[in-house]
Each structure stands twice: as C-alpha cells, then as structure tokens.
A and B are shown apart, each in its own frame.
Chain A
Amino acid sequence: MLADDDDLLSALLDYRLKKAGYDVTVCTDGKNVKSYLETNRPDVIVTDIMMPYFSGLEITDYVRNELKLKIPIIILSSAGNEENVLSAFKLGANDFLSKPVSPAELLLRLKKELG
C-alpha cells in the first residue's frame, strides 16, 4: 500500500512499483489508509508523514498499537529531521526515506523488508 497526498509522486511510484511486479494500492489521505486497513492486510506500507486527516506517524501508531500488526512500514518524508526520524522508529516504523526519493532505492528497501 502506498499512501501519499502528492498525486504526481504517488502516480510515479505506483507506476514504478507495478513495473517491478508489485500489486499497489494508492491512498491519498490518512482516512483512506485507515479504512483500507480495516478490511485489508497489505504486505508492506509505504507512507508519507504529511497527509490530510492522519499523518504517517499516526498511521504507524495505529497499525502497531491498535491493529497490533507487524506489517513492515516505510516512512517517506521531506521533513527528514532527526525528530521525525526518531519518532517514526520509536512508533515502530521499519525504515525511513527522505524526499526527494530515488525510486530505485525505494525498490531495494522494499525488497529488503519483504525478504
């Protein structure tokens, strides 16, 4: 699952991931992500921090503490400051990528998380 409110970037990454063989679901805000997670269990979550309704950190917290899921979570953010990175890892994120993001790098990290 790919969660990002930036349509262009999400479309670009969606295309790249699909081309790499992944089945991708794109969500454009936090509400969509939550509603999607209520009924579905993705193999991996790639989420931006700054999103409408619920941020990527809130979603991480929701997945780890409420749904009690161990799904790998990769955080994407342009606000790659230390505080955000630490918060993400404390909440249970598996990886952190700063924007501008390299699609090739994202693919490698996804492969790593999915084993």
Chain B
Amino acid sequence: MKFPSLKIYNLVSSPKVPTDVLWDLSILFSILAVIYFGAIFFFRNKFKKDASDTASRKKILAPMVSEFLFYEENIGTKEEKNSYINRKIEIRELIKDKKNEAVLSEILLDLKTDVSGQTRKLLFKLYKDLNLQEQAFEKLKSFRWQKISQGMFELTQMQVVESYSFIRRFINDKRSVVRKQAEISTVTLMHEGISYFLDTTKYSISEWQQLKILEVLSNAEYFEPPRFYKWLTSKNKHVVLFALRLIKHYDQNDAEESIISLVRHKNTNIKHEAISCIKKFNFQSSTRTLKAVFWKNNAHIKLAILDTLASFERKEDIPFLELVDKKESNFTVKSKALSAINTIWPEYVMPTDGLDSSILEEHQDESFEEIVHKVDVSNDAPDDPEFEKPDSEEAIEIAVDSEPIETNQPEVQLETPSELLPEYERVAHFLDSIFVNKNNEDKVEAAEQESVVAKDPISSKSEINTPEPVFEVLLNEDDAVSLTTTNSDEIKVDNSILEQSETIIEDNYQSIFEPLFNRADDECKMLLLDEILEIGNNKDIPFLTSLQNHHNTLIRTKAVVVKAKLLDKFTPIKESETLPLEVLNLQTTIKVEEELVKQRVEINQTISALPIEDQPYLIEKKPKDLMPLEFCFLLEEFDLEPAKPLDLFEVEFAPEFSKDLKNSEHSSSSEPIGLTAEEHTYFQQLLEFPLTKRKKFNG
C-alpha cells in the first residue's frame, strides 16, 4: 500500500535579520541614553548646587541688608556705628565677587516688592551706595536682547534716574522686547518720558503696551500730564490713537477742533476714538462733521456717530436720524437711529410691529374719555366764569392712533357688533350715524369758529411720520360742532345732538347686557330682559330705551315694561320710607283712620301713604330668579322645570308619614284618625316649626 507523498511548500519565510546592525544600534542608543541621563544628572546637580550656593549667600547677605536698612545714624550707639562700618567694609569685599553682587541685587529686587515706605527708599539708596547699578549698565551693553531687557528692568525697578538717557535710546530698537521694555522704563523713570516716547517712537504701540504705559502713568507720583493734543498731528497713527486715549483719560478738552477734524481720518480706530472723545466732551459743534462723514463709514463708526448724536440730545438732529432710519440698509444702524431718536425725544417712535390690533389698550379708553370730556368742557365753558375761551384760531386736534377711518362707511358696517370694534371706531360710527341724520334734516350755517389746538408729542409725531387721520373738532358760536379730518372733509352737528349722543354713548357703554344682547337670538333676548329686571340697575335704562325701537314687537314691549319696573325700583327712597316698618304701619293705620274720618266729613284729600306691599325696598329677590343664563338655556332645551331650592326647614321625614299628613291636611276634620290630641298637637308644632323659624329669620 502506497501512501500519497506530501509536498511542503514554504508559504511564509522569515526575513533574514542583520543581527550585527541591531547590535550596533543597541549600543548607539544605550550611549545616547547614558549621555542624556548623565546630562540631566549633571545639570540638575549644577542647578541644585547653584541654588544652594545662592541660598547660602543670601543667608549671609540678607542680615547685612537688614542691618543697613534699619541703621539709624542718630540713635545708634558707638558699638552699633562700628558694627555698621565693619559690615559696610565686609559687604563691599563680598560684592567684589560677581556672584555675590548678583545675589545682592536679587535680594534688593525681591525686598523691593515686599516693603514700602521709608524702607523702600532706603533700599534704593543702598542699591546706589553699593554701586550695583554698574552691573545693570553693563547688561545694557550686551548684544543679547534678554540681558539688555533685564538690565533696563533692574535699573527701572531700582529707580536709577541716571539710566534714563541710556535706556531711551532703545525706544526705536528693532527687537520688540527691548523696545517695549525701553518704552516702559522711559515713561517710568522720568515724567517727561511720555513726551519723549510719543515724540520719537516710530513703531506701533500695541493695546497691551498702551495699558501698561497708562498704568505706569497712573501710579506715578506727582505726575502732571502734558497736553496730549500736541501729538494729534503725529505721523505715527498709533501715537495719534494713543494721544486720543490719553486725552480722554485725562479729560483734556482743549483740542476740540483737532479732535473733530480727526473724525475724517482714514484710520477707523482713530475715527472711533475721536468720536468717543467728542461724545465724552460733548463737542456739539461736531454735529455737522459727524453727519457729513456718516454715510462714508462702516457700521461700527455709524453706530458710534448715532450714539454721540443721541448723547447731544438735540431735537434738530431728529430729521437726520429719521433719514438714517429710512435710507440705511443695516438693521443695527437703523435700530440705533430709532433708539437715538427716542433718546432725544422719549417715545417719539412708538412700537408698531408685532402688536395685536384686536386688543384694546388702556390709553385708547382714556383718549375716548378725553374726547367726550373735552367736548363737554367746551360746551360748558360759557357757564363757567373761570373758564378762559380759547382763541378762535386754535383747534382741538384729536390724534387717533389707528388705521384711517372712512367717513362714508356703508350702513352695513354700522351693524357690526360694537364691542368687536376698537373704541375710537365705535365713536366714529356713532358720530357718523348722527352726522348723516343731521345732514338730512338741516344744513348747518357757517360761522366764526372757535378752535383750540391741543398738540401733544404723539399727535405732532403722527403728522411727521404716519398718515394716520387727525380729527379736528371745531366749536362754533351757535352751539354747532363740526368735525374735520385731514382730508378736509367737514361734518357738522348740532351741540344738543352731541350732548345727547354723549349720554347715550356713556350709558350704553356701561350696560353689561348690551354685548350679550347683540349676540343673542330673540328668545335669549327675552330671557336677558328678565335678568335685567332682576339684577340690572339704572345704567341699563338707556339701553332699554334704545330697545324701544326694536323690530321685534315682543322685545319692544318687554323692554318698555322692564324699563318701567326698573325706574320704579330705583326711584330714590323718600324720607318717610326710611322709617322702621312698625312706624310705617302705624302711620298708615293712622292716616287711613283719619281718611275715614275725613270722608265722613266729606273733605276730599288724598292719602299720602302707600300700601306697605308697594314699598320698593320690600321687593324680595328669590334665589330661583338668579339662575345663570346658561342654565336657563339648558332647562329650556330639555323642557325641564327648575328644581326647587333646598330648604332645610322643609325636609320630608318619611314618605308615608308625609302622605298621611297631606291627607290629614286635606281632610276637614281637625283631628286625624288614629292620633290622640296630644300627639296631634306635638306633630302640629313639629310641622309648624320651620314656618315659625323662617318667619323669625325674615323679621
């Protein structure tokens, strides 16, 4: 038997590894690692040693510094003086070593931040006494920027004023770090440093640098700032900008014209800063320039200009601001213009967008009342001696914040439910109806017109901005009132009619039933009339009067009845009616007896007292009559009788018992069958109890 031979193919073969190269690389990296860690170890130790060396030097030098600082020549004893002199010699010897000198400088710089007052001044003195500034001056000669800047910093911190002329040379250094340190040092060391710096600098001054310099100037003692307008003409725009900021900071408002002219500068930052200065110093003479440059600038500057104009609060600028509102395409600028207008003249521009026109505002009510009041006052004027008649040329202008109202509205529109219309429209409708009627009746004669102009900001605003109608009420001598609109249409009406209309407007407006009545069908109207009788008051009487012309005969009739009853109900109570009931009854009895006596002697006289039942205040309101209207509708819809109100004293104890009791009541015999006399009396009392109780409650 032969087995099949298997051939093995090398599908995966391992690469040949050059082990020699690997060994070489391993050795190389090991050497690098050793060098790296060796360097770290070396430098770490070196720095540690330096730090400990510095600390040990500080430990030696710090007490010496303290001794020098607090040495008092006048108070000290001889021993102290000798010690001080010895210390001075010692320290001079020590600082011959450059390291000690550096450490001592470091100590003094550190202490400078920790101490204040006289000690600090002594510190500066000690620094100079020990000639430590020499080392700092040496640093200035270095070609390394960090050394130079360190030297300048040290000299500045130790207030070595002599270094000023050396340091200021670096103001225009091409290395920014050196330049910036030189700027700070120059400004710090001498008060005139700021002037020198602004005069000579050719480079830009960063915002941060400006802040630093401003901080230095603010902290400088006895610093009197120069007049910075001198640098507004600088060719370096950064200097101009910085000068403007300094002018603003130090409130130097003596360069009005220069600042205004800078509004026309090409640089946006300068323009903005100049506008900011104008706003701060309230240079109102800049208005023309600001308006002139407005359209050529970007939105940022435009906003600044608008803000400035708003701060001036000049009403003459409003037309310009309105022009901006109309012409400007940028939304923010437009908004700012409107805001500026309202800042100058509060509420000049009223909100118009996004308002719900269906909601009546409070002020409309007021305006309505004002209309009535004003006309009323005008009519009453001749009777009032204190009233001053307005000039004939004046006219009462009533501005109505609304959409234009057409005077020739069709009659159909008059039938619109009045409660759905805004109030001014209701007035207009009502007046229209009166005017139309009146025009049909007679022509009003033209007369000398009395008119009063009552302008308010809103009305005058509407004259400028919006084409909203302005009604003008003109009072004539012959008690006629004419109403004109801006369209010069004139409608005239008699004063008596207007008075009547006022009363009707006022009274109709006060009736709470009118809105319901206008929406209800005839059946509901009848029910409403019932309700008016029950819960209505004298405010509803004009409304009921208006219903006497209703097309439905039933309603008309009922309205008359209800009105009559209401009038009776609200007739003022006579003095006699205020008397107690018993007295009234007695009076009535006496009068009736007297009448009988008089009748006997045939003297014809009327009895003044009314029957008690007819007294108005004796009308009782039953609870069942005060049912809600909706409930009445429901009862009527389902043909139901209203349930009797629950009376606690009319509870039936048991059906059977009550049935027997009813039978017994209906029976003619006084004593029911099966009951004794005592039992009967007891139950009779029990049954009569609620009635007696109720009578007691009713008085």
Contacts and interface: CB of A to CB of B under 8 A. Distances in A.
Interface of A: 6-9, 11-12, 14-16, 19, 99-105
Contact of A100 (B65, B69, B70, B115): B115
B58 interface: yes
Interface in B64-108: 65-67, 69-70, 107
B116 A11 contact: no
B111 interface: yes
B614 interface: no
Contact of B62 (A11, A16, A104, A105): A11
A101 B67 contact: no
A100 B118 CA distance: 12
Contacts of B111: 8-9, 12
B147 interface: no
Contacts of B118: 102, 104
Interface of B: 58, 62-63, 65-67, 69-70, 107, 110-111, 113-120
A6 B118 CA distance: 20
A6 B62 contact: no
A104 B67 contact: no
A38 to B, nearest CB: 28
Closest 6 CB pairs of A and B: A102-B117, A15-B66, A100-B116, A9-B114, A11-B62, A102-B116
B63 A8 contact: no
A5 B647 CA distance: 93
Contacts of A7: 58, 62
Given A12-B69, A15-B70, A103 B115 contact: yes
Given A99-B114, A105-B117, A12 B65 contact: yes
A101 B70 contact: no
B67 A15 contact: yes
A26 to B, nearest CB: 12
A34 to B, nearest CB: 24
Contacts of A100: 113-116, 120
A8 B117 contact: no
Contacts of B114: 6, 8-9, 12, 99-101
A45 B633 CA distance: 91
8 contacts: A7-B62, A11-B63, A12-B114, A19-B70, A100-B114, A103-B117, A104-B117, A104-B119
B2 to A, nearest CB: 90
A7 B58 CA distance: 9
Contacts, number: 54
B187 to A, nearest CB: 21
Contacts of A104: 117-119
Given A7-B58, A16-B70, A100-B115, 11 more contacts: A8-B107, A8-B110, A9-B111, A11-B63, A11-B66, A12-B69, A15-B66, A15-B70, A101-B115, A102-B116, A103-B117
Contacts of B62: 7-8, 11-12
Nearest to B62: A11
Contacts of A6: 114
Contacts of B115: 9, 12, 100-103
A105 B63 CA distance: 20
Given A6-B114, A8-B107, A103 B63 contact: no
B113 to A, nearest CB: 6
Contacts of A101: 114-116
B235 to A, nearest CB: 42
A6 B114 CA distance: 9
A106 to B, nearest CB: 10
B120 A12 contact: no
Nearest to B113: A100
A8 B70 CA distance: 14
A99 B107 CA distance: 17
Most buried by A among B63, B107, B114: B114
A62 B217 CA distance: 44
Contacts of A14: 66
B119 to A, nearest CB: 5
Nearest to B120: A100
A15 B63 contact: yes
Nearest to A20: B70
B122 to A, nearest CB: 10
Contacts of B65: 12
A99 B65 CA distance: 19
A7 B116 CA distance: 17
A10 B69 CA distance: 14
A66 B31 CA distance: 59
A3 to B, nearest CB: 15
A101 B69 CA distance: 14
A6 B58 CA distance: 12
Given A9-B111, A102-B117, A102-B118, A16 B58 contact: no
Contacts of A8: 58, 62, 107, 110-111, 114
Contact of A12 (B66, B113, B116, B117): B66
Contacts of B119: 12, 102-104
Contacts of A99: 113-114
Contacts of A102: 115-119
Nearest to A76: B114
Contacts of A9: 111, 114-115
